Structure 1
């Protein structure tokens, strides 16, 4: 049974509440966003903005699409109200929609318009198409079906699922035009935000959509690993995402992506030792970072998010420290990835329960993570630099160049480890380090 229906904002004159907002209200869920069909979108938007203290702006002034944002401390969580022109034939408009549960409208006096039988499907928790032609008219609706299955907790009706598979096949063969990458990204990320995101990714595969979205991820299907792993590479990635969200339900999207893609480089780095028969994935971390960059770039994610995901993927195999000093070094070198890196590593480990895994090994892993967390808690911010680049150049008689940066990295790490504590010690360290490393080639920064 659905919960008691929540209160609704005042209806603009002559308006209908349509689509997902009407659906959610009927389910007893407060709509996150409101879609209004009104005689005068611009006037209704401005009036609501004035009444509720929000801001109104045109999404598409030519077509009469307007939006109102309401104030909220979290801009991304703030509800918005969209206004579109009231269609001449409301029933015809509703019957052009994707699924029956979205082909609903509500009047100001709470009369329900339901030309496609959506209320019955709501009660049955069933996701049923209004018509196959509607799905082919906008193939993005195939991705939406997978997302709604997860976020609503509904199940695709059999005929609708069959059409979803046909749409995916037609997209793959070029018989249908693929949706814009940004629209696919938005559906996939809405799915990833759900606590059961791993199941949603599996449904993308079941429906033939993963091959159109993240084909590199599919390369791990059936690729067995052994050792610590009890799942194939693809299943392990899904389980890592599941393990992450079980422990960190509010994980940001880049962290979710990193958990899902952390082993995406394994299929292309897979080798088998001819003498021992053992499986190896040498370099899969670096290859995975490159692949993650390509995959998320295709989906048009923000550049900063892509870099963060790629760096997490590349770093997920770094050894955890065996002692307190090593823990401080670990924090110093990877501070900007923490604590996200630890979450990815923990999700990876908890998703691996093959024959080599044991309670003792998991305990040792947890202890090593504890050392890193203790070091991070002890020094939550990097220590204040004791010398500048200009100081180093003056002290050593150097000109600007890579050597100055190398000296500063060594000094700053020594400070982070507690080996240098003041300016006098910093100058002595720099002079000694430079003498010991004279003529040595520059070492890359970690």
Structure 2
């Protein structure tokens, strides 16, 4: 349980302790000249009270909003951008500070706050009298109780995306969602089918950027919301697995997501070697999001691939089918190509560490098999083992071999040793070029040259060759055995 917020302590010097304090005199000057009234509203006030860094400053103003925003921008040497001409919303940017200007509806701050979504967002500060907080709906009380409370069901019917926003806010703030609000979310979730897919994906992106997405997705699922935004997840419910597992595919997927969050939060609890490489890989926040999506979606193909056998249920090829299904989801939700490709790659290859582990446990694993993996997946080898660890930890059936995670850790160490060698070789000049191969063997430019280049690289990685002369001799033997040239 998070500590209670001392709202009274934060309230006393709320504006004085924020970057906004430097601009109060400008707001007062503009108000005097243009007979307007500016208020700080919504999430900006909430974040100030919670001692969170505000992402932007939401300013609601009476009067000619376009003129006011442009004058404010000029006075602070900022840049003014029109966000929406019809609804008259403007953005002023000054360095890393963002001010979003909107027209105060009905010229009444109380009416403005009553049509907000949740009480913690229905707070305002009069920038001409910043000592007091305007709180007509009990937002301060809900902040102290750490809960998300819906102002009115009409907030959801007017913009159904607010259904997802409740979960995102709860995850970001580490708040609960009260029963009244949950009932509203469940009742109006069907309207999400009419929301633009880009908006849904953006809200999910925000949710997946938090550190507790697994819990809130589980809550979302219990309220029946998946069928309106991610029906492919809903389809996993009740799909039985083999004795390796203790959960159906739906619960296993959510538990895998929970474990990947734990691993991302503290990799050293789960891996004991090559920690600097893991840290470097995880420095990119997008890797965290990619792994969370992959953990949730890695078994999407199991319903289509399920074969009920005598002793064991199988799901052969589910990795490929899962990747195909996610690719279609990514298109529907308008993922960027970069993000879609990265997540699809992790899903497509998520079984490869387990294939190697199966061979490793039988003491028949070859260096060449490790080389093939490293060369095929590159730096994603780290992500694939993190994902495999989460997948394994979420699997606790009676048929699961003993010490499985310990063996997975040991395999990871071996694979990463090879990966380190691979990186060193990649930094060196190539032993052999495509032109060398063409001259040596009288080959024209063709795919065969590329195949031979890759094989030389594998031989170099395994220590079979280390000079150009050795590479040529190795290739000559290879050509005699497999690529006879007439």
Q: TM-score range by the shorter chain?
A: 0.7 to 0.9
Partner-residue secondary structure (3-state), 1:320: helix
Q: Provide the rounded CA distance (Å) in 2 between the counterparts of 1:271 and 1:17.
A: 59
Partner-residue secondary structure (3-state), 2:59: strand
Q: Does 1:408 align with 2:442?
A: no
Q: Provide the rounded CA distance (Å) in 1 between the counterparts of 2:94 and 2:466.
A: 51
Q: Does 1:67 align with 2:91?
A: yes
After superposition, residues 57-136 of structure 1 pair within 5 angstroms as 57-61=81-85, 63-69=87-93, 71=95, 80-87=98-105, 88-108=107-127, 109-136=130-157
Counterpart among 33, 36, 41 of residue 18 in structure 1: 41
Is residue 288–residue 313 contact of structure 1 (8 Å, CA) maintained in 2? yes
Q: Provide the rounded CA distance (Å) in 2 between the counterparts of 1:374 and 1:324.
A: 14
Q: Does 1:200 align with 2:224?
A: no
Aligned to 1:301: 335
How far the C-alpha of 1:377 sits from its partner, in A, is 3.0
After superposition, residues 232-311 of structure 1 pair within 5 angstroms as 232-249=248-265, 251-273=287-309, 276-311=310-345
Q: Provide the rounded CA distance (Å) in 1 between the counterparts of 2:456 and 2:80.
A: 54
Aligned to 1:331: 374
Is residue 290–residue 339 contact of structure 2 (8 Å, CA) maintained in 1? yes
Which of the two has greater helix per residue? 2
Summarize deviations over 1:144-163 as a string: whole Å, max 9, x none.
11222222233333232222
Partner-residue secondary structure (3-state), 1:110: coil
How far the C-alpha of 1:54 sits from its partner, in A, is 6.2
Counterpart among 431, 440, 444 of residue 476 in structure 2: 431
How far the C-alpha of 1:125 sits from its partner, in A, is 2.4
Q: Provide the rounded CA distance (Å) in 2 between the counterparts of 1:46 and 1:256.
A: 44
Q: Provide the rounded CA distance (Å) in 1 between the counterparts of 2:331 and 2:71.
A: 37
How far the C-alpha of 1:185 sits from its partner, in A, is 0.7
Q: Provide the rounded CA distance (Å) in 1 between the counterparts of 2:205 and 2:90.
A: 24
Counterpart among 293, 300, 317 of residue 351 in structure 2: 317
Which runs of 5 or more residues in structure 2 are unaligned? Answer: 29-36, 266-284
Q: Provide the rounded CA distance (Å) in 1 between the counterparts of 2:180 and 2:123.
A: 21
Q: Provide the rounded CA distance (Å) in 2 between the counterparts of 1:171 and 1:240.
A: 26
How far the C-alpha of 1:45 sits from its partner, in A, is 6.4
Aligned to 2:415: 372
Q: Provide the rounded CA distance (Å) in 2 between the counterparts of 1:79 and 1:256.
A: 30
Partner-residue secondary structure (3-state), 1:338: helix
Is residue 168–residue 207 contact of structure 2 (8 Å, CA) maintained in 1? yes
Q: Provide the rounded CA distance (Å) in 2 between the counterparts of 1:33 and 1:324.
A: 55
Q: Provide the rounded CA distance (Å) in 1 between the counterparts of 2:393 and 2:260.
A: 9
How far the C-alpha of 1:33 sits from its partner, in A, is 2.6
Q: Provide the rounded CA distance (Å) in 1 between the counterparts of 2:412 and 2:381.
A: 11
After superposition, residues 337-376 of structure 1 pair within 5 angstroms as 337-357=380-400, 359-376=402-419
After superposition, residues 384-395 of structure 1 pair within 5 angstroms as 384-395=429-440
Is residue 69–residue 80 contact of structure 1 (8 Å, CA) maintained in 2? yes
Query: When the two structures are superposed, what TM-score results if normalisation uses the length of structure 1?
Result: 0.87
Aligned to 1:153: 174
Summarize deviations over 1:226-273 as a string: whole Å, max 9, x none.
333222111111111111111213553112211111111111111111
